[in-house]
Structure 1
């Protein structure tokens, strides 16, 4: 008796999970279709011919300067001592 109930419960769970899997596969299929459609129409932007690139040395120096800066900017602080 209990074994039959257990088997029925597992069968129902299996059926439920199979249904969810089928729905998920359908969603993935639709998403892949939509992505393919978007990628079809996607063209790379025209880049200017005279790109200015930063060398690795410049990048490391700018990074070092940026890391040494404070993580905030004081605005409106009066530099004069109060009287």
Structure 2
């Protein structure tokens, strides 16, 4: 009998939860750092499903000081 945590169904739900959490944290940081102008990037960022790409954006938000710099990061991971 397979362990639940090893099932594809469980893994898919887990991945969706991680993705939602990353998107939420990105949106929060964008709002805190750049205000409503930063949040305007969320429709574009929300289209990203790859967790590593979202992690790259999260980490990039720590070091960028402008939205243009963030846009460069987003463009570079496409």
TM range (shorter): 0.3 to 0.5
Bigger share in helix: 2
Give TM-score, length-normalised by structure 1.
0.34
Give TM-score, length-normalised by structure 2.
0.36
